[in-house]
A and B are shown apart, each in its own frame.
Chain A
Amino acid sequence: MKLSDFMHCFQGVTPAGIATCDADGTPNMAMLSQVYYLDEKHVALSCQFFNKTRRNVDQNPFASVRLWDPVTLQPCLLQLRFLRAETSGPVFDEMSSRIDAIARATGMTGVFKLISADVYEVLSLTVLQGALEPAPATLLPWNPEPRQAGREELRGLQVLSDRLCRARTLEALYAELLASMASLFGASHALLMLHEEDCGKLIAIDSRGYDRVGAGAEVKVGEGLVGTVAQTRRPLRLSGMAAMRRYTRAVRESAQKRGMALGAEIPLPGLSDAQSQLALPLVAHDRLIGVLALESRDPLAFEEWHEAYLALLANQAALAIAMLSDREDEDDDARVEPQPAPLPSRRRLFTWFAGDESVFVDGEYLIRNVPARILWKLLREHAQGRREFSNRELRMDEGLGLPPVKDNLESRLILLRKRLQERCPDVRLVSVKRGRFVLERDSEIALEEKP
């Protein structure tokens, strides 16, 4: 029997109990929010408060930890020996990232903080027979033959890789990436955020599975799960989030009783009842392209292998995005004649607010910053009779403030299209050729400028 046969127990869905004993022989019991699997012979416990457990193992290194399988509640017992407390290095960084993300998501920054990653040697593992009545046949988990399961995963990787390679535009690539998360990997809720280097933010470009696309939503680098992954450029997986919220709420109440000042509890983004999340950095040529965030209502939806496996896909997606973003525009003199505009049936009022460089439509926020400047240029020129535009001319327009290299123009246009689709579907930017598009409208357009 191997420790890795019990990986479900290390997801933090069910808390664990730990017994220690001081040098005088007095036993002590405590609860643990999570035990971290390191390898077949080692686990790590998070030291967040320098508590009695930690003081005991400094005197007497032995510990007894009880874990429960979160699906069946089958208990098992680990007898451990404390080896060392790590305050830096990969194990510490990994655990710290996870705890920081939880802390940021629950307004516990500064209180819920890793002091050390305490590494223990596993002396023995015992499955406690007799703790459960035998399972009825209907409860036995379906366990696919491992070799076949492995083949299916490889097939999924190959299919997605193929789809990414075939995508001719960034928009198609984003759509394929998000759709494949559901169709190939069962992640029904997926959000793609792109990195805006100049403002230190991530901007939502597209999503699947949510009530609304959420294009244009922003997260600061370092903020929440997505921001933490952007900052560390390492995948981050949170399981058993209901258990995590209960645990942090208990810590929060305890801290408040002791007069500690805490920030407002920030709701986790996306699904309000998400039970597990996995966020993957998209990095190409040592540059952060964005973050792919997946959510599920299943507390065990994402396991350790998903992290490694989907990170492969994320790397490939990042390279594909970087390559398509860097491709030169292929527009030439052969202009495609757009269809004549339909007769206006209604009026849309676009307002440019110069102070914060944002555009509102009919009094509602539409977009800001660079995409807003692009839209305003298009609308003004459209008012003078132009309908067709090129990426190249946008790049040449210094007034738009695009960076000279890595301008993300294509992605900014996709974001603009998504926002128009959501907020003002009767004004559209329609591609007519690579690097060329027309502004189509079903309504009369009025423009006004405000400070």
Chain B
Amino acid sequence: MGQVDIAEFLKRGLCVLVGTRDASLMPHCVTGSAVVLAGPGRGVVFLPSFESAPALANLLANGGIAVLVEEPTTHRGIQLKGEAAAMREATLEELRVVAEFVARTKAELSAIGFAPTVLERMNFTPCTAVEFTFDRVFEQTPGPGAGRPVEVRA
């Protein structure tokens, strides 16, 4: 089994995608503005308001959450799976962290050829903070190893 240092990985420029599902097991995919660790097996993912309503409704109803973070220039990625614990407005301090995360994301997208005029238009805030716990982490880099569990390295 491979190993991953999640805190280190989250310092990179990353794109965030979040999967939830409703009562009829219909999945739903939204983008995330940022992800941060809040302790061992605990994280906070920020969902931009323009599209978060269905995801928040799903999380309120059943809590199941999958958070994928991927580095666009290398496609290196991991997925955290667990349960949503709480939803609330992002604090001012969190919004500062989100802004830094988004700046790194945009720098990555710029490195693969997107123009500043295009990136400037992307909205990541305002956003809702979703606190979640995770007990499974998976390799998500495309290829034969995608989807295999990885061990979390502190």
With A30-B68, A62-B27, A132-B123: A255-B114 Cβ-Cβ less than 8 Å: no
Asked if A73 and B118 make an inter-chain contact with CB atoms under 8 angstroms apart, the answer reads yes
Asked if A66 and B17 make an inter-chain contact with CB atoms under 8 angstroms apart, the answer reads yes
Any B CB within 8 A of the CB of A29: yes
Any A CB within 8 A of the CB of B70: yes
Any B CB within 8 A of the CB of A85: no
Q: Quick one: which of A63, A66, A133, A250 contacts B74, CB cutoff 8 A?
A: A250
Asked if A17 and B68 make an inter-chain contact with CB atoms under 8 angstroms apart, the answer reads yes
Chain A interface mostly: mixed
Asked if B143 and A253 make an inter-chain contact with CB atoms under 8 angstroms apart, the answer reads yes
CA distance A75 to B28 in the complex (A): 14
B3 to chain A, nearest CB (A): 12
- Per-position binary interface string of chain A over residues 132-143, scored 1 when its CB falls under 8 Å from any chain B CB and 0 otherwise: 111110010000
Asked if B147 and A27 make an inter-chain contact with CB atoms under 8 angstroms apart, the answer reads no
Kindly identify, within residues 101 to 133 of chain B, every residue whose CB is under 8 Å from any CB belonging to chain A.
109, 112-114, 117-123
CA distance A25 to B66 in the complex (A): 11
CA distance A52 to B144 in the complex (A): 11
Asked if B143 and A28 make an inter-chain contact with CB atoms under 8 angstroms apart, the answer reads no
With A29-B19, A30-B140: A73-B121 Cβ-Cβ less than 8 Å: yes
Q: Quick one: which of A25, A31, A49, A62 contacts B77, CB cutoff 8 A?
A: A31
B81 CB contacts on chain A under 8 angstroms: 26-28
Asked if A19 and B29 make an inter-chain contact with CB atoms under 8 angstroms apart, the answer reads yes
Q: Quick one: which of B68, B121, B138, B139 contacts A132, CB cutoff 8 A?
A: B121
Asked if B73 and A26 make an inter-chain contact with CB atoms under 8 angstroms apart, the answer reads no
B149 to chain A, nearest CB (A): 11
Asked if B75 and A31 make an inter-chain contact with CB atoms under 8 angstroms apart, the answer reads yes
Any A CB within 8 A of the CB of B145: yes
Question: In this complex, which of B29, B74, B109 has the most chain A Cβ atoms within 10 angstroms of its Cβ?
Answer: B29
CA distance A75 to B114 in the complex (A): 15
Any B CB within 8 A of the CB of A242: yes
Question: In this complex, which of A27, A62, A129, A252 has the most chain B Cβ atoms within 10 angstroms of its Cβ?
Answer: A27
B41 CB contacts on chain A under 8 angstroms: none
Any B CB within 8 A of the CB of A431: no
B112 CB contacts on chain A under 8 angstroms: 242-243, 246
Any A CB within 8 A of the CB of B62: yes
CA distance A242 to B73 in the complex (A): 10
Kindly state the interface size class of chain B when it binds its partner. 35 or more
What is the chain B residue whose CB lies nearest that of A111? B144
Asked if B145 and A246 make an inter-chain contact with CB atoms under 8 angstroms apart, the answer reads no
A30 CB contacts on chain B under 8 angstroms: 68, 79, 140, 146-147
Any A CB within 8 A of the CB of B76: yes
Asked if A64 and B19 make an inter-chain contact with CB atoms under 8 angstroms apart, the answer reads yes
Question: In this complex, which of A28, A128, A252 has the most chain B Cβ atoms within 10 angstroms of its Cβ?
Answer: A28
Q: Quick one: which of A27, A75, A250, A252 contacts B64, CB cutoff 8 A?
A: A27
Any B CB within 8 A of the CB of A210: no
Asked if A75 and B143 make an inter-chain contact with CB atoms under 8 angstroms apart, the answer reads no
- Per-position binary interface string of chain A over residues 29-65, scored 1 when its CB falls under 8 Å from any chain B CB and 0 otherwise: 1110100000000000000010110000000101111
B140 CB contacts on chain A under 8 angstroms: 29-31
Asked if B64 and A133 make an inter-chain contact with CB atoms under 8 angstroms apart, the answer reads no
- Per-position binary interface string of chain A over residues 53-87, scored 1 when its CB falls under 8 Å from any chain B CB and 0 otherwise: 00000001011111000011101010100000000
Any B CB within 8 A of the CB of A20: yes
With A20-B27, A132-B123: A29-B142 Cβ-Cβ less than 8 Å: no
What is the chain B residue whose CB lies nearest that of A65? B29
Any A CB within 8 A of the CB of B154: no
B115 to chain A, nearest CB (A): 9
CA distance A29 to B142 in the complex (A): 12
8 interchain pairs, CB-CB under 8 A? A25-B62, A29-B18, A72-B118, A131-B122, A242-B112, A247-B142, A254-B141, A258-B144
Known: A62-B26, A254-B143, A257-B2. 12 other contacts (CB 8 A): A21-B19, A27-B19, A30-B146, A30-B147, A73-B122, A77-B29, A79-B28, A130-B51, A249-B75, A253-B141, A254-B145, A254-B146
